[in-house]
Amino acid sequence: MKIKCMAIDDEPLALKQISSYIEKTPFLEVVSLCHSAFEAIEYLAHNEVDLMLVDINMPDLNGMDFVKSLTQKPQIIFTTAYSEYAIEGFKVDALDYILKPISYTVFLKSVNKAKTWFELNQKQTEHVQTNQDSLFVKSEYKMVRIFFSEIKYIESSNEYIQIHLVNDEPVTTLIRLKVIEEQLPKDKFMRVHRSFIVNLDRIKVIERNRIVFDHNVYIPVGDQYKESFQAFVDKSFLV
């Protein structure tokens, strides 16, 4: 498997360097080189990308705001000359953050993280089986069937997730939240925080930008998910 890469940088020499690094790395493939976030948006509207190498300091729409605007994100590695964005970069679940000037050694170390992520993601996907109304997940050496309608919300804790159910104990499984997200019906479930996915049909109370379950569980809506969640609220609730 080759990882399909997009590089975005408004500096032609920096873009050329990243392109050359991708081309000399056996497990990577260049599918798009963009000089602005707007070019990237146009490409992503019609094509799939696995990994984006994104410069942050770009005119009109910077790389950080561009990534935050995406509802379906490829994996991200930020490339920049400015270290002050590092914490913000990891808040949007970037795989890595590398500072310019970038040597091939540094680049290779970073994309090897991506390679490891994709290999683990593929392995974990094999542990999830879905059909129209339910999914099976591996939990404590057995496969457990979970109906979509019985899920309240899903919570991430490092490499594990807990699937919280309506009338049963939570099911714990060794899967990343991103993996389970890709297996769920998009019209029924929504990622609202880096650590939470909620069943939209189970939402009854929203209070101060938090979703309330059972009067004692408060799930925050993260900044990067507020726009899509508000669109759901505006469409589904009478104000």
Q: Using one digit for the tens of pLDDT, what is the confidence trace for 21-36?
A: 999 999 999 999 999 9
Q: What is the pLDDT of residue 200?
A: 94
Q: How confident is the model at residue 224 (pLDDT cuts 50, 70, 90)?
A: confident
- With beta carbons less than 8 A apart as the criterion, state whether 176 and 186 touch: no
As a whole number of angstroms, the distance between CA 176 and CA 127 comes to 11
Backbone dihedral angles phi then psi of residue 195, each to the nearest 5 degrees: -115, 0
Q: What is the pLDDT of residue 220?
A: 92
As a whole number of angstroms, the distance between CA 79 and CA 62 comes to 12
What is the tens place of the pLDDT at every residue in 123-134? 655 556 667 788
β-pairing verdict for 3-8 and 51-55 = parallel
Q: Look up residue 214 and give its two tokens.
A: 């059972």
As a whole number of angstroms, the distance between CA 110 and CA 107 comes to 5
pTM score of the predicted model: 0.61
Q: How confident is the model at residue 211 (pLDDT cuts 50, 70, 90)?
A: very high
- With beta carbons less than 8 A apart as the criterion, state whether 92 and 64 touch: yes
What is the tens place of the pLDDT at every residue in 47-85? 989 999 999 988 888 888 898 888 778 899 999 887 766
What is the tens place of the pLDDT at every residue in 139-176? 877 888 899 999 999 998 867 899 999 988 899 988 88
Alpha helices in the chain (DSSP H): 12-23, 37-44, 63-69, 86-91, 104-125, 177-183, 226-236
What is the tens place of the pLDDT at every residue in 3-12? 999 999 999 9
Ordered by where they begin, the domains of the chain are 3-124 (3.40.50.2300), 128-236 (2.40.50.1020)
